[in-house]
Structure 1
Amino acid sequence: MSTAPRTVVGVSGGVDSSVAAWLLAQSGEPLAGLFMQNWDDDGSGECRAEEDRRDAVAVCGRLGIPFHFRDFSKEYWAGVFEHFLAEYAAGRTPNPDVLCNREVKFKHFLDAARELGAERIATGHYAQVLHEGGRWRLLRGADRDKDQTYFLHQLGQAQLAATLFPIGHLPKAEVRRLAREAGLPTHAKKDSTGICFIGERDFREFLGRYLAAQPGEIRDPQGVRIGTHPGVFYFTLGQREGLAIGGVRGRPAAPWYVVGKDVAGNILYVDQDRDSPWLMAGTVETEAMHWVEGAPPATEFDCTAQVRYRQQDEPCRVRVRDDGTLSVRFVRPQRAATPGQSLVLYDGPVCLGGAVIASTDAPVPGQAGGAAG
């Protein structure tokens, strides 16, 4: 007689999800593994989906648990990739990992697990869940260098109530050790980085397949022409690589950094100061905020925030507007707070939630004043 699993673990073919599955299997949890294909690879990159799937099958075989496969590539295209393209076309810098977690891993994956008869899902994310005072809280992973709550801030009460993070209390080195001692075939596998659908291929070449690039001028903040660029949406604030600016007459032999983008005018603005005043913002305005616990702690409060992944906690004052958007004033100016990226709030180890950055008060190159947006 077949028994439905109580938990379905997302097996990605990596070491983190492998150890998450192993820990649950060791505890006697009725378990199955599920591999998600989120991108219909065209064969032009190094997405490694087939290799990852083979490794996931091998891990499930090693643990003696059923293996399942689901193709979510259509859902990924509609829920994540179309937004990714629209944001780049608008000159913003999106974060597809945030949307992938909300739209695929903790939505379609959770639905698929329930179709298999499971009550909940488990993943190899470095995060923790705490049930306290009748509410579910999202806590940072114990390994601060690997903590992934920045990418999980769009989760809510229903998802956290049905989710396990078995390795959230472990440092990465311990995860590797457990994998090695358990004989898991992924124990020495290199961590994946970047976005799977881009893989090892050239980012500009990939994006150029979907967005028609127009070469334009590179200027300094005062409007003086410095060079040319292949397409303004290939670049993001604070970026140094890929500008291909050689020696400029009358300018120091120092690196250049992107400090602004005029999408309508197809102009890229650069400066030679890594901490250029054109990159520094004291206040960040956001789109509608998502609160993990469903509501803000107050209409105005102090906490810490990150405007990018792996950033140190930055103290700030938060004001919640009537329409759900935020105005966040930082104690120290923030470098390259980028529209399209996520601002995520924390109270100590507790992730309060996050929102997409809409604009900042950093000065706009080529203008006398105003706010970047």
Structure 2
Amino acid sequence: MTMKGCAMEKFLPARPRVAVLMSGGVDSSVAAWLLREEGWEGVGVTLRLFSPGDDAAPGVCRFLGMPHVFFDARQLFEDRVLSPFRRGYARGETPSPCVGCNAALKFGLAWEVARSLPGVSFIATGHYARILHRPAGVRLARAQDLRRDQSAFLYALPPEVLPRTLFPLGELSKEEVRARARRAGLPTALRRDSMDLCFAGEGGYRSVLDPALLHRPGPILDEEGHELGIHPGIVHFTPGQRQGLGIASPVPLYVLRVDPFRQALVVGPRERALAREVEARRPRLLAPDLVFPGARVWGKVRAPGPLTPGTVELLTEDRLRCRFDEPVFAPAPGQHLVLYGEEGNVVAGGGEIVAPRSA
């Protein structure tokens, strides 16, 4: 991993500075502009995660009069994000790579890079989330614009980074961000939003998988084991999916489970995809005082999904289990169980879903 960009002598620690993680998109550009307008002295930091990368960030920094640094993190991105992503799909899971990328790179490695720059003591990004300072400590909260809220992707952040984190877009809607970009004349004002997976490109997530997995047909089974059809490959499906099965049935059928050992899909009616208890591995807690056996929480099993109230049933070093008041739809291994406290406003913790239990 190497760092290049502006000469280090330009980083004069006249006052506390903020490293702004710059992707080259409109969100991070507006975040940097807002901080400059508030009087912060910013330094743009871009992690080079894959090739070809996006080279728009240096131009934005020049426009704002900010120095900029590239950091080559391609090998770490391959090891910590892409390789686990591929292995997850091969195991029949539905990985959510953004959680690990945020924890290991954008708020792990990037924070190390930021602290190495003279005078830098804060890190900022264009995520839609908020930081709240409470008597119990610093909390990660949902964004004001719940349609854009990204807090579920941030539950695994190192807790020690939170007091040094700024989310300038947390109180804004996407429309307001676009309007401010135009008003500021930012060169990224008219750029399209990035895709859900930054590395996927035009081919979607399948473009980074082993090509052999894309064409590995297998049986579509009902819960009794009767074969109903043939699918093109398990990597094209996830629990709760209905589209693409190609099965004629008097009732709509949904994927209930993905069986990587038999390369099979198990399907059934929608009610069979509901689960009241959801278990996750490797729990990470941002607010340990809000997560304990018996604690009342609000949770979700997909980042854009709704919050459902429930109770923490189990918490160990390796397991977290929540029982929801009402069944949730199709929790998928590889996705994340994210729990919120304070009436669903602040992120308490979460983990990677391993064993959805039937309702």
Task: Report the TM-score when normalising by structure 2.
Answer: 0.90
- Preserved contact between residue 303 and residue 315 of structure 1 (Cα < 8 Å): yes
Q: Distance in 2 between matches of 1:148 and 1:99?
A: 14
> Which blocks of at least 5 consecutive residues in structure 2 are unaligned?
1-8
Q: Distance in 2 between matches of 1:157 and 1:127?
A: 15
**Which residue of structure 2 aligns with residue 316 of structure 1?**
310
- Preserved contact between residue 7 and residue 32 of structure 1 (Cα < 8 Å): yes
**Which residue of structure 1 aligns with residue 326 of structure 2?**
332
Cα deviation, residue 157, structure 1: 2.5
**Which residue of structure 1 aligns with residue 89 of structure 2?**
88
Q: Within 5 A, what are the aligned runs for 1:293-304?
A: 293-304=287-298
**Which residue of structure 2 aligns with residue 262 of structure 1?**
259
**Which residue of structure 2 aligns with residue 360 of structure 1?**
356
**Which residue of structure 2 aligns with residue 70 of structure 1?**
71
Does residue 28 (structure 1) correspond to residue 25 (structure 2)? The answer is no
- Preserved contact between residue 157 and residue 294 of structure 1 (Cα < 8 Å): no
Q: Secondary structure at the match of 1:124?
A: coil
Give the AA of the match of 2:348.
L
Q: How many pairs are equivalent? A: 345
- Preserved contact between residue 35 and residue 70 of structure 1 (Cα < 8 Å): yes
**Which residue of structure 2 aligns with residue 366 of structure 1?**
none
Q: Which of the residues 11, 33, 40 maps onto 2:22? A: 11
Distance 1:239 1:297, change over 3 A: closer
Q: Secondary structure at the match of 2:355?
A: strand
Distance 1:205 1:109, change over 3 A: closer
Identity score, percent:
39
Q: Distance in 1 between matches of 2:291 and 2:241?
A: 35
Cα deviation, residue 13, structure 1: 1.1
- Preserved contact between residue 135 and residue 157 of structure 1 (Cα < 8 Å): no
Q: Distance in 1 between matches of 2:123 and 2:355?
A: 36
Q: Distance in 2 between matches of 1:179 and 1:167?
A: 12
Distance 1:352 1:134, change over 3 A: closer
Cα deviation, residue 215, structure 1: 1.6
Give the AA of the match of 1:283.
E
Q: Distance in 1 between matches of 2:137 and 2:318?
A: 21
Q: Which of the residues 194, 197, 200 maps onto 2:196? A: 194
Task: Report the TM-score when normalising by structure 1.
Answer: 0.86
Q: Secondary structure at the match of 1:119?
A: strand
Cα deviation, residue 220, structure 1: 2.6
Distance 1:295 1:85, change over 3 A: farther
Q: Distance in 2 between matches of 1:213 and 1:161?
A: 47
Give the AA of the match of 1:352.
A
Q: Secondary structure at the match of 1:333?
A: strand
Give the AA of the match of 2:57.
A
**Which residue of structure 2 aligns with residue 176 of structure 1?**
178
Distance 1:242 1:205, change over 3 A: farther
Does residue 127 (structure 1) correspond to residue 121 (structure 2)? The answer is no
Q: Secondary structure at the match of 1:16?
A: helix
Give CA deviations for 1:184-231 in whole Å, capped at 9, x if unaligned.
111122111221222111544542337575321112333232221222
- Preserved contact between residue 130 and residue 143 of structure 2 (Cα < 8 Å): yes
- Preserved contact between residue 77 and residue 105 of structure 2 (Cα < 8 Å): yes
**Which residue of structure 2 aligns with residue 217 of structure 1?**
219
Q: Secondary structure at the match of 2:139?
A: strand
Q: Distance in 2 between matches of 1:61 and 1:206?
A: 33
- Preserved contact between residue 39 and residue 196 of structure 1 (Cα < 8 Å): no
Give CA deviations for 1:23-65 in whole Å, capped at 9, x if unaligned.
1111221211112221234xxxxxxx3xx32x22221121111
Q: Distance in 1 between matches of 2:205 and 2:314?
A: 37
**Which residue of structure 1 aligns with residue 279 of structure 2?**
285
- Preserved contact between residue 283 and residue 320 of structure 2 (Cα < 8 Å): yes
Give CA deviations for 1:47-91 in whole Å, capped at 9, x if unaligned.
xx3xx32x2222112111112111211111111122112222221
**Which residue of structure 1 aligns with residue 109 of structure 2?**
108
**Which residue of structure 2 aligns with residue 351 of structure 1?**
347
- Preserved contact between residue 278 and residue 356 of structure 2 (Cα < 8 Å): yes
